[in-house]
Amino acid sequence: MPNTPNPQLNKNGELIHLLSTEGLPREVITHILDTASQFVSVNDREVKKVPLLRGKSVFNLFFENSTRTRTTFDIAATRLSADVYTLDIARSSTAKGESLLDTIANLSAMAADIFVVRHGESGAPYLVAQHVAPHVHVVNAGDGRHAHPTQALLDMYTIRHYKKDFSSLTVAIVGDVLHSRVARSDIHALKTLGAGEVRVVGPRTLAPADFAAMGARVFHDLEEGIRDCDVIIMLRLQNERMSGALLPSSQEYFRRFGLTPERLRRARPDAIVMHPGPINRGVEIDSAVVDGGQSVILPQVTFGIAVRMAALSIVAGNAA
Is the separation of the CB atoms in 187 and 180 below 8 Å? no
Is the separation of the CB atoms in 237 and 175 below 8 Å? yes
Specify whether 91 is located in the same domain as 126: yes
Establish if 132 belongs to a structural domain: yes
Per-residue confidence (pLDDT) for residue 239, from 0 to 100:
60
Specify whether 157 is located in the same domain as 276: yes
68 labelled ligand-binding = yes
Q: What is the DSSP string of 49-118?
A: ---TTTT-EEEEEESS--SHHHHHHHHHHHHTT-EEEE--GGGSGGGGT--HHHHHHHHHTTT--EEEEE
What is the rounded radius of gyration, in angstroms, for the C-alpha atoms of the chain?
A: 19
Specify whether 220 is located in the same domain as 105: no
Q: First and final CA of the chain: distance in angstroms?
A: 14
Specify whether 155 is located in the same domain as 227: yes
Per-residue confidence (pLDDT) for residue 4, from 0 to 100:
47
CATH number at residue 270: 3.40.50.1370
Is the separation of the CB atoms in 174 and 222 below 8 Å? yes
Specify whether 166 is located in the same domain as 235: yes
Specify whether 157 is located in the same domain as 81: no
Establish if 118 belongs to a structural domain: yes
293 labelled ligand-binding = no
Chain CA centroid to CA 306, Å:
13
Specify whether 30 is located in the same domain as 98: yes
**Residue 58, C-beta contacts closer than 8 angstroms, at least 6 positions apart:** 73, 77, 82, 83, 84, 85, 112, 113, 114, 116, 312
148 labelled ligand-binding = yes
pTM over 0.75: yes
Specify whether 274 is located in the same domain as 232: yes
Establish if 104 belongs to a structural domain: yes
4 labelled ligand-binding = no
Name the region of 285 (left: φ>0; alpha: ψ -120 to 50; beta: rest). beta
Specify whether 143 is located in the same domain as 153: no
227 labelled ligand-binding = no
Q: What is the dihedral of CA 41, 81, 113, 99, to 10 degrees?
A: 90
Establish if 17 belongs to a structural domain: no
Stated length of the chain: 320
Per-residue confidence (pLDDT) for residue 243, from 0 to 100:
44
Specify whether 106 is located in the same domain as 154: no
Establish if 307 belongs to a structural domain: yes
Establish if 246 belongs to a structural domain: yes
Domain enclosing residue 43, as ranges: 26-147+302-316
Q: Of 219, 159, 226, 232, which Cα lies nearest the Cα of 189?
A: 159
Specify whether 153 is located in the same domain as 292: yes
pLDDT one-digit tens code per residue, 203-261: 999 999 999 999 999 999 999 999 999 999 999 987 644 444 556 678 889 999 999 99
Specify whether 197 is located in the same domain as 61: no
Task: Provide the strand spans (E) within the chain.
Answer: 57-62, 83-86, 114-119, 137-143, 170-174, 197-201, 217-219, 231-234, 272-274
Per-residue confidence (pLDDT) for residue 5, from 0 to 100:
73
Per-residue confidence (pLDDT) for residue 217, from 0 to 100:
98
Mean of the per-residue pLDDT values of the chain: 92
158 labelled ligand-binding = no
Establish if 3 belongs to a structural domain: no
Establish if 13 belongs to a structural domain: no
**Residue 205, C-beta contacts closer than 8 angstroms, at least 6 positions apart:** 178, 246, 247
The residue ranges of the chain whose pLDDT is under 50 are 1-4, 240-244
Per-residue confidence (pLDDT) for residue 90, from 0 to 100:
59
Q: Of 186, 170, 188, 181, which Cα lies nearest the Cα of 267?
A: 170
Provide the sign of the torsion angle of the four alpha carbons 184, 85, 63, 275, taken in this order: positive
For the chain, what is the domain count? 2
- Distance, CA of 135 to CA of 317 (rounded, Å): 10
The Cβ-side half-sphere exposure at 9, using a 13 Å CA radius, reads 18
pLDDT one-digit tens code per residue, 109-124: 999 999 999 999 999 9
Q: What is the H or E stretch that residue 296 is in?
A: none
For residue 288, give the 3-state DSSP assignment: helix
Per-residue confidence (pLDDT) for residue 215, from 0 to 100:
96
277 labelled ligand-binding = yes
